[in-house]
Amino acid sequence: MISQSKLTFVAIVLASSANLFFFTPALADDVNAAKGKAVYEGTCIYCHGDNGKGEIPGSPDFNKTDGVLSKTDEELIRNITEGFESPGADMPMPAKGGNPDLTDEDIANVLTFLKTKFVKEKSK
Ligand code: HEC
């Protein structure tokens, strides 16, 4: 005969492993976004501003759902890493925001941060 407490134990184990399964990817995103926030505040904030609206002429507003952050991650990573200038722009985006110390991981994290802080869902 299986006791009530054993059943409760099994239910708790099942429930917590289900939580682990569902929440781990989200948690990893939170950790990466927190690391990306530090990168943003150290390098990007001077031009893009705390609110992502841009501090200098020509910097895009990150809050628009159909704005620059709706581009693919691949394209954004490339543009952040190598620098980027759209036709007729007031000013180019410097490679790595002008900070050559940034690693590929820093750039992936800062993009996660941009997407979690400014645009919660990709529009396409
Ligand atoms: C010296 C100012 C400056 C700094 C520092 C800077 N940016 Fe930019 N960024 C710009 C400007 C200006 C543009 C718009 C360029 C254009 O459209 O021609 C831009 C564009 C972008 C875009 C849009 C790219 C696209 O494909 O449309 C992203 C994303 C971006 N910046 C992220 C970052 C990140 C992340 C950092 C920090 C690592 C950073 N920027 C640091 C000035 C800056």
Whether ligand 1 lies within 6 angstroms of the CB of 71 is answered as yes
Which residues are within 8 A (CB) of 64 and not within 5 positions of it... i.e. 6 or more apart?
119
Distance 80 CA to ligand 1 centre (A): 7
Query: What pLDDT does 4 receive?
Result: 72
Domains along the sequence of the chain with CATH: 27-117 (1.10.760.10)
pLDDT tens by residue, 76-123? 999 999 999 999 988 999 999 999 999 999 999 999 999 999 975 444
pLDDT tens by residue, 1-26? 667 777 666 666 666 555 555 667 77
Length in residues, the chain: 124
Q: What is the pTM of this model?
A: 0.82
pLDDT tens by residue, 19-74? 555 667 778 888 999 999 999 999 999 999 999 999 999 999 999 988 999 999 99
Nearest alpha carbon, ligand 1 atom 34: 44
Query: What pLDDT does 122 receive?
Result: 44
Query: What pLDDT does 45 receive?
Result: 97
CB 34 within 8 A of CB 116: no
- Rounded CA separation 12/6 (Å): 10
Distant-in-sequence contacts of 105-108, Cβ < 8 A, 24+ apart:
106/35, 106/36, 106/39, 107/39, 107/77, 107/80, 107/81, 108/32, 108/36, 108/77
